[in-house]
A = this chain, B = another copy of it.
Amino acid sequence: MNIKDIAKLAQVGVSTVSRVLNNHPDVKESTRQKILEVIKESNYIPNNSARILKQQNTKNIGVLVKGVFNPFFSQMINVIGNIINQNGYTMILHQNDYKNDQEVETLIAFIKEKKLQGIICLGGNFADITDDCFKEINVPIVLTSVNTVSKQGKEYYSSVGIDNVKSSYDATSYLIEKGHKKIALILGEADDIGVSILRMQGYREALEKSKIRIDDELIIVGGYSSRGAYNETLELLKIRKDITAFFALSDIMAIGAAKAILDSGLKVPEDISIIGFDGMDESEYYNPSITTVKQPDKLMATMSINLLISQINERKENQHILLETNLIERDSCFNLLK
Contacts and interface: CB of A to CB of B under 8 A. Distances in A.
Given A53-B53, A74-B69, A256-B285, A45 B105 contact: yes
A108 B286 contact: no
A315 interface: no
Interface string A281-301: 110111111000000000000
A225 B285 CA distance: 11
A109 to B, nearest CB: 5
Nearest to A47: B112
Given A1-B136, A287-B287, A114 B49 contact: yes
Candidate in A49, A53, A281 with the most chain B CB atoms within 10 angstroms: A49
Given A1-B136, A285-B255, A287-B259, A47 B53 contact: yes
A133 B43 contact: yes
Interface string A258-295: 11001000000000000000000110111111000000
A158 interface: no
Contacts of A97: 81
Interface residues of A, number: 49
Interface string A215-250: 000000000011100100000000000000000000
A28 to B, nearest CB: 26
A43 B113 contact: no
Contacts of A71: 69, 71
A105 B49 CA distance: 16
B282 A226 contact: yes
Contacts of A256: 285
Contacts of A114: 49
A73 interface: yes
A328 to B, nearest CB: 15
Contact of A285 (B132, B226, B289): B226
A337 interface: no
Contacts of A226: 281-282, 284-285
A289 B286 CA distance: 11
A121 to B, nearest CB: 16
Contacts of A136: 1, 43
B45 A225 contact: no
Contacts of A133: 43
A281 B225 contact: yes
Contacts of A46: 109
Given A43-B132, A43-B136, 6 more contacts: A43-B108, A69-B73, A227-B281, A255-B286, A259-B285, A287-B288
